Chain A
């Protein structure tokens, strides 16, 4: 045993479980806004993730207990479940989770070695393979024509069957971002579109509050010194500046930048996804570049691209640039004139 003789580290599991705790307020508001189905998706994703992780760990001959209980795979499962539509069929959740854990995590070498954010790889794979399912978002309960109880939602997710006489269209609805995009294409102005009942003060009904809770959770993570604010602030800044630029150019066709902050996966992405330490840039300046670029790219994909949201794709694209970003943003070392080692 050698120095130091004291330690503060909470272990990987301590970190992961605190990140999950930070997600809980958002999940509570999720249930309020969309009903209990999100709890079912979280459960399906978690169980799948644990089973697949255990199998992979055993296959790779690692000690099963510390690695399965490190919490990292559960966090991946949660982030995936929170990113896809809450009333997705069970198999969609299972497929996404398996892709995330097997392909994005373990084939890259497991915890700490993956280049791409596993939850986002799972999300992107589903988005490309099953676009129809990935755009089926349930309407917020305050707007839905009919109300589904826990049993009804569970039955729908497991069997795809709705209570007798009910149509899928009655419970599904385009997301606020989607609605905005479609309506703008139909040559309505932003202010006209925002009159629609799906929108709240900023963002969508229900989802605005979920975003606020994610922001709260993110602040907790910062205060608990689990994340630094570099990435989230740069991400929000990148998104906001892009939004502001287009908004100032043409307010009829481009929604206000704060709307972008409150909708879609922005807050979840800024505080919980882009900050995944394994796949994000690691130097202070690198984190700023990484976050800003991811935020700006999110805007581009959202507004100009074909997908309803851009968080997943922009984070994945930036993941690929992390080695480069880190190499060219090395901080100066004490007693050295500048970062001489950077270019070596």
Chain B
């Protein structure tokens, strides 16, 4: 038996899994119109490949990865492109983003499937395939999967994150109960690519059916299925790695630095569909729950309007006044239902004030330290909020505000109802803004130095030219010789200046280009 480890803090919010965890995954019908965002992953948005009026097939690439940290986007069904323009997307900024809107033709006609034999194909080809199939992390961070799987060097442990620790969400639970075999096939692809010494699947013990389904599917394979204690935020990447391996990812670092790669279970399933079946990522399992008539789990195409899914769940109840994408601890608030399924949408919760009472007005901090006891990172939120309210951001940095994973435990327990996480987000963005300004100021300084050098160089060159002209006019050989010497000296000076000017500013000039 593998011994499990623990992390500091954590909370036990009401689970609310029973509302939807008994509902099998239902195929959602293809909506009439699908709105596919080109920024469904961390990194650069995909570059649109289609124009209004284009006919597309199901699975056809409509956005190509732009650069290394990017992922492809595909048409979720066959039909006609009717818009390529900024539309409302669930993004923290609240700003509209470039989307492709497709009117379905009802035929749902596939492109030709192109699976890849990962056993024989070179690793890079498999990674490229995954990249071109638009696979990203489905646990929430939507990090492009091919980058994660492309790490170099000896790997100790492959961790499959199936904790699903957020309340209300049951999409991974259902996926494991119903498609454990395919998940295991996906894990085998990852094992082939990464060659880990051990493969550990962490599932919270409030999902016994998923645990046994996975155990059955993994029987006889080098995959360990581990039931971990239910405690939010066990599904946090660094927390789960700590629980399963006892190792801590260094502050500001990534798991591969300690020989670990951690991937969400739904992502693994998607890798399997992409590699073994040649299906790009065009659908995912979404839990629709909360203030709806009949909560459930639906396999929906990317771009499906939230309204259509709500209708499948019997409709939102009348007192619904907002929605949450994701779980109640870290999910994104949506003011209305005018949004669409994203690759990262594991759940939509219809919210009412009765079901999700607004937080009471904040009172001053009494230093009760409940927040520090709950923080899985070991931060002291009460100190941080004190510094941040005093605009002492540097102190907040010293007290490790950048280690905050925004899990929300502190806000959840705060006995004075202080919106702590909001303070920390504010402080982080404020500090990042300052760092940017500092860099910009540094660059401006270098730029003005460059300009100064250029002006001096030009002046010297001009002086040299003038001297030469004057020398041409002069008569006496003595004068001529003296002037020639002067010219030579001036030219030398100019050359020296030029050399100096050329050599020094190389690096900063590069930086400027990159920043712009």
Are B400 and A2 neighbours in the complex by a CB distance under 8 Å?
no
By secondary structure, the A interface counts as loop
Are B400 and A4 neighbours in the complex by a CB distance under 8 Å?
no
Are A282 and B416 neighbours in the complex by a CB distance under 8 Å?
no
CA of A153 to CA of B203 in the docked complex: distance in angstroms?
A: 65
Interface size on B, residues (CB 8 A): 63
Chain B residues 362 to 397 lying within 8 A of chain A, measured CB to CB, are: 363-370, 372-373, 376-380, 382
Are B363 and A2 neighbours in the complex by a CB distance under 8 Å?
no
Q: Is B248 an interface residue (CB 8 A)?
A: yes
Residue-wise interface mask of A (57-81) relative to B, using a CB-CB cutoff of 8 A (1 in contact, 0 not): 0000000001100101000000000
CA of A202 to CA of B141 in the docked complex: distance in angstroms?
A: 61
What residues of chain A lie closer than 8 Å to B378, measured between beta carbons? 331-334
Are B328 and A5 neighbours in the complex by a CB distance under 8 Å?
yes
Are B328 and A15 neighbours in the complex by a CB distance under 8 Å?
no
Q: Is A6 an interface residue (CB 8 A)?
A: yes
Contact of B332 among A3, A10, A225 (CB under 8 A): A3
Residue-wise interface mask of A (325-342) relative to B, using a CB-CB cutoff of 8 A (1 in contact, 0 not): 000001111111000010
Contact of A335 among B238, B357, B361 (CB under 8 A): B238
Of A88-96, A106-114, A129-137, A251-259, the one contacting chain B is A106-114
Q: Is B250 an interface residue (CB 8 A)?
A: yes
| Closest A residue, CB atoms, query B332 | A3
Q: Is A283 an interface residue (CB 8 A)?
A: yes
What residues of chain A lie closer than 8 Å to B330, measured between beta carbons? 3-4
CA of A185 to CA of B166 in the docked complex: distance in angstroms?
A: 65
CA of A317 to CA of B248 in the docked complex: distance in angstroms?
A: 39
Q: Is A12 an interface residue (CB 8 A)?
A: yes
A19 to chain B, nearest CB (A): 11
What residues of chain B lie closer than 8 Å to A163, measured between beta carbons? none
Are A5 and B356 neighbours in the complex by a CB distance under 8 Å?
yes
What residues of chain A lie closer than 8 Å to B425, measured between beta carbons? 2
CA of A334 to CA of B399 in the docked complex: distance in angstroms?
A: 12
What residues of chain B lie closer than 8 Å to A226, measured between beta carbons? 368
Q: Is A1 an interface residue (CB 8 A)?
A: yes
Chain A residues 25 to 78 lying within 8 A of chain B, measured CB to CB, are: 66-67, 70, 72
| Closest B residue, CB atoms, query A12 | B363
Task: List 4 tightest A-B contacts by C-beta distance, closest first.
Answer: A4-B408, A112-B364, A335-B251, A277-B368
Q: Tell me the B residues contacting A by CB distance below 8 Å.
A: 7-8, 11, 13-14, 167, 238, 242, 248-253, 322, 324, 326, 328-333, 351, 356-361, 363-370, 372-373, 376-380, 382, 398-400, 403, 406, 408, 411-417, 419, 421-422, 425
25 A-B pairs whose Cβ atoms sit less than 8 Å apart in the complex: A1-B322, A1-B333, A1-B358, A2-B419, A3-B330, A3-B406, A4-B328, A5-B324, A6-B356, A9-B370, A9-B417, A12-B363, A70-B363, A111-B363, A111-B364, A112-B364, A112-B367, A113-B364, A282-B382, A332-B378, A333-B379, A334-B238, A334-B242, A335-B253, A336-B251
Known: A3-B408, A5-B329. 16 other contacts (CB 8 A): A3-B330, A3-B332, A8-B412, A110-B364, A111-B364, A111-B366, A226-B368, A282-B367, A330-B380, A331-B378, A333-B400, A334-B376, A335-B238, A335-B248, A335-B377, A341-B398
